[in-house]
Amino acid sequence: MCGRYDYTAGEFREIHIRWNLDKDLPLFKPCYNIAPGKDVPVIVREGERNQIKLMRWGLVPSWAKDPSIGNRMINARAVTLAEKPSFKRRLSSRRCLVRANGFYEWRREGKRKFPMHIVRKDRQPFTFAGL
C-alpha cells in the first residue's frame, strides 16, 4: 500500500447507507495529503453496527518504547500478516475500513520523483483494510 492517500467527506446519505452506520457522522474536513501519524476517520464494527471513529494512522506495537514507530509501521503484507507478532493479534478483533478517494504512488524520472494520484475509474470513494 501507499504512504499517502486523500479523503473527502462525501455526501452524508451515501456514506451512511453504504457502510450501514449506526450514528450520525462527525464533521471531517477533507484532507488531500494524509500521511502516517495523522488522525483519520475509519469505519469500525461496534457490537452489531458500524461507526466512524478517528484513529491515528500507524501501528504502535505493545513492545515499542517509542510511539513514533507507528509512523513507519503502516503496511502489512498479506502473506505474513498472520505470522508477524505486531499484526496477528489484531487480525481477528481489531480491524477497520479506511475510506479514501485515492492514493499516491511515486514515479521516478531520473533523479526526481513525481506523485501519481491513483483513483477508481469512476472516481468513487473506496475503502482499504486496516488494523
For residue 8, what pLDDT is reported?
80
96-100 and 112-118 beta bridge pairing: unpaired
Give the three-class secondary structure for 14: helix
Per-residue model confidence as pLDDT tens digits over 79-124: 776 777 666 676 676 788 888 899 999 899 999 999 899 999 999 8
Active-site hit among 14, 83, 105, 109 = 105
Q: How many helices (H) and strands (E) does the chain have?
A: 2, 8
Which secondary structure element, helix H or strand E, spans residue 117, and what is its range?
Answer: strand 112-118
| 48 has catalytic annotation | no
Domain positions in the chain are 4-130
**What CATH superfamily is the domain 4-130?**
SOS response associated peptidase-like (3.90.1680.10)
Distance CA 64, CA 68 (A): 9
For residue 9, what pLDDT is reported?
67
Rounded to two decimals, the pTM is 0.75
Active-site hit among 2, 11, 14, 48 = 2
| 105 has catalytic annotation | yes
